[in-house]
Amino acid sequence: MLPIGPLMIEHRLIEKMIKVMKSQLDRFQAGDPVSSPLIETITDFIRAYADRCHHGKEEDILFRELNKKAISSEHRRSIEQLLEEHTKGRKLTKTLVEANQKYKQGDQKVLPAIADCLHSLVTFYPKHIEKEDKHFFLPIMVYFTKEEKDSMLAEGYEFDSNLLHEEYKNIVKEAESSFPHGR
């Protein structure tokens, strides 16, 4: 299996969340109230799965290894564009989190910002995924030997495992600070 296989599989799950986001946006535009808990689920998914897990493997493993290679200027530009897009996704998600917090506190004026963020994310991610799937992942595999691909794949699995442990360590740390021992 190519090391891009898991990345492309992750794209399919991200696409499913994009459909949920689009549905929420459509309902909101039809007059239904914004579901703040659903926005929290969406932003948690984007931050934890799409960004930390998926983009993390791209940036920390795939791009790192590509940067060790004599790749074409076209592929170098593609990496730079993808990194800029990752940053854009992070900014949009941060804006959505902040708007949702204000909305939860009763600020109705942020509703257009929530709609704009959802629209931007629903528009952004499919284009980003298509660029990676169809124009980047497959062509750049020529730079790697089978052994290098296998090594990146193994590192990707370890990355996922460490991420899970990191997530739950943070949950415990937050619980400990919220509910100190000895009370």
Residue 182, pLDDT score: 54
Closest to 68 measured CA to CA, from 78, 77, 76, 80:
76
Helices 4-29 and 111-132 cross at an angle (nearest 10°) of: 150
| Residues 170, 119: Cα–Cα separation, whole Å | 31
**Per-domain residue ranges for the chain?**
4-166
Residue 52, pLDDT score: 93
Residue 3, pLDDT score: 63
Residue 151, pLDDT score: 95
- pLDDT averaged over 10-residue windows placed end to end, the chain, 183 residues: 74 95 94 93 94 94 96 97 97 97 96 96 97 94 95 92 82 80 57
Domain 4-166, what architecture? Answer: Up-down Bundle (1.20)
